[in-house]
Chain A
Amino acid sequence: MAEMVKLSVNGQEVEVEAGKNLIDAVGAVGIEIPHLCYHPALGADGNCRMCLVGIEDGRPPLVPACKTQAAEGMKVQLDAEHIKKIQHDVMELELINHPTDCPICDQAGECALQDYYQKYDGQESRMTVPQVQKSKKLDFGCGVVHDQERCILCARCVRFTRQITKTGELGIVNRTDDARVTIFPGRPLNNRYALNVVDLCPVGAMTSKDFRFKQRVWFLSRDKGVCHGCSKGCNIFIDHNKEKYKDDIIYRFRPRQNDQVNGYFICDEGRMTYKKENEDRLTVAKVNNAESIISSAVDTLKNAVSSSSNPVFLVSPNCSLEQMFAIKKLGETKGATLCGFSDGYIKQGDGDDLLIQDDKSANRAGLELLGVDTSKEAFQSAMKEADLLVNFNSDLTNSFDADTLDELLANCKFVMVATTQDILTDRAEIVIPVAAYSEYSGSVINADNILQMFNKAVVKNEPFDDIVNIVSRIGGDIEDNSAAWAGMKASVPTLKDVEPEQIPEQGLALNS
């Protein structure tokens, strides 16, 4: 627990963490100090002057809250008339050249300037001269579209490329009302985190080409999730919407702050994995290439597993812990060989020291924790004996080419329990569609051995079953996640003391 100091805001006594600036310290107890340029990850810049507050201790009348440390006995003024006037005037200054094209601006609804205008300004423009015209719809690369007119020059994006990605593609050129954010000629944004500037931008100056005009943000439901794009397990908001007469569709992923895992950002690649949740989804079950209803396909699979003398279960490293455990239990009852082979998920040298990992699977640590053999040799030797391979959503195509696959699957029946359609589901004899990770609840362990829970976010019109459920219908003992947890606590020493309900939102670091 950090050291606490007592100070008063508007005459009200509050206890805040010491060593933080006023915006963060006071913000943590629910008192908001308006700010545009300050961002906790980027540090104080002090250029917007929106966070000016008064402190009654003989200092100059106004100090920027972003640059002022919280100290014992401080008397912070937020609602004094001159503070309100300063906020009002700063807003008026920002809005002099800001086009009020909120109707066509994607940021409308989550725009700091819009909110502050309602809260601190609320007057009509007094300007009689035309607004300064700047360039609009500039393609900055990496799917970032920039509108210079809307920019309020808070320099968050510039600082991001300089401090976080250290690539420095962006800069502010010119002065006064001609100042603008731009790239160097012929050198567009070129880093793997570029789309974070869209989230950082407090206004609609930076927009994502991918999300542009797709939805108004107030239609979106924001549910918490964990990105399955790599073994970092970045925390995300799943922004999805079920439009009238349509299915529940994910429109974008946004980073969710988690200091223990990903901080404030996510990578562009992970951000775009939402498309996998929407596109090419497997929607119908198949038995011997004929469409079938899911329940009868499950029954067929059940019979196939029971009659098989030597089944092999292949578990995806993207499965949740609960699913892995359910499959493992099923394997034990049915005498199946359990394999976690998934070398294809690892892209050597792709990771960096920021967020991106080599391993593109979300829960390899889970596989290892449950003691599933992930070696290639074990898989290949098991396949030699096998007469049935049940693949639980593992992508084998990134490990083997088509010829090797043919060879591997030559002598056995092949079953896919999968979320998306690919060449594997095309060649499988039984195909059963299941829920993707935005549609079920579960837990994953990331590369840093942090256990994170996530909940169901998307509810499709015709929801598919979770793998846990499918496995129990094939004949597994584990009926649901709580049963899986009970089993895991009993059999896995590391998880012995873990209460699934009490895993904090920041994740639980497993000491192993």
Chain B
Amino acid sequence: MSIKVKTIVRNGRSWQERLYLIEVFKGMAITFRHFLSNFLDNSKLAVRHYPEVKPEITPRWRGRHRLTTHEDGTIKCVACYMCQTNCPAQCIQIEAGERGDDRTEKVPVKFDIDLLECIYCGYCVEACPMDAIRMDTGIFSVTSSTREEMKMSIDQLLATKGAFSEEEYKKGGA
């Protein structure tokens, strides 16, 4: 049994390289080329002109959360606490109550997501047995001037609609 030996080429041993100055000038030539071309024509910069140009959000992007509803508009969530249990940031706080309609018995009366604590990992979406919580709103910039506004209530979460069609969302791997 022989050991496979792979010889790795070590750079930086020749005298030109050990002199260092030559390599420094080479590096500076590269950076200066970039500088000059961008200085003379700044149209090819590798930047997106946000906020005027918005990034393209794919269906797999984990944006701000929303709670989904059945066709008749009733909430899908059954307050099973799976998302709250799984949440590594502990940003979800649910309170359950009796459900009025004939779908199931349980419904959330309070469903708060503190977006300041949320780390947008998507575990809540993974955990949900009802497909009741999704992160497909396409909202990636969540800002507010007060802490209180960052706490999403059940109504706010229900009010937002998904940014993608059902087919696109499902194709995204959900």
Contact = CB atoms under 8 A, between A and B. Distances in A.
Interface string A494-512: 0000000000000000000
Nearest to B130: A103
A119 interface: no
A100 to B, nearest CB: 9
A102 B104 CA distance: 12
A184 interface: no
A276 interface: no
A214 B109 CA distance: 12
Main secondary structure of the interface of B (DSSP, over half): loop
Interface string B94-120: 001110000011100000000000000
A216 B81 contact: yes
A101 B97 CA distance: 16
A400 interface: no
A216 B85 contact: yes
Contacts of A213: 79, 96-98, 106
A104 B96 CA distance: 10
Interface string B48-91: 00000000000000000000000000000011111001000010
B94 to A, nearest CB: 9
B113 to A, nearest CB: 13
A214 B105 CA distance: 13
A103 B79 CA distance: 8
Given A213-B79, A244-B90, A244-B93, A103 B105 contact: no
A243 B110 CA distance: 14
Interface string A238-252: 000001100000000
Interface in B128-142: 129-130
Given A213-B98, A213-B106, A216-B85, A104 B80 contact: yes
Question: Number of contact residues on B: which range applies?
Answer: 10 to 19
A219 B90 CA distance: 12
A136 interface: yes
Contacts of B78: 103-104
A347 interface: no
Given A213-B96, A244-B93, A137 B82 contact: no
Contacts of B104: 101, 104
A214 B96 CA distance: 7
A344 to B, nearest CB: 38
A422 to B, nearest CB: 29
A104 B106 contact: yes
B90 A104 contact: no
Contacts of A219: 81, 85
Most chain A CB inside 10 Å of its own CB: which residue of B79, B80, B82, B97: B80
Given A213-B98, A244-B90, A104 B85 contact: no
Given A103-B130, A104-B80, A244-B90, A136 B105 contact: yes
Most chain A CB inside 10 Å of its own CB: which residue of B90, B93, B96, B98: B96
A447 B85 CA distance: 42
Contacts of B129: 103
A219 B85 CA distance: 8
Most chain A CB inside 10 Å of its own CB: which residue of B82, B85, B105: B105
Given A104-B78, A213-B96, A244-B93, A137 B85 contact: no
Interface in A86-141: 101-104, 108, 136-137
A244 B97 CA distance: 19
A214 B94 CA distance: 10
Contacts of B96: 213-214
A13 to B, nearest CB: 42
Nearest to A207: B105
Interface string B141-161: 000000000000000000000
A104 B103 CA distance: 12
Contacts of B81: 216, 219
Contacts of B130: 103
28 contacts: A101-B104, A102-B80, A103-B78, A103-B80, A103-B82, A103-B129, A103-B130, A104-B78, A104-B79, A104-B80, A104-B104, A104-B105, A104-B106, A108-B80, A136-B105, A137-B105, A213-B79, A213-B96, A213-B97, A213-B98, A213-B106, A214-B96, A216-B80, A216-B81, A218-B85, A219-B81, A219-B85, A244-B93
The 5 closest A-B pairs by CB, nearest first: A103-B80, A104-B106, A213-B96, A216-B81, A104-B78
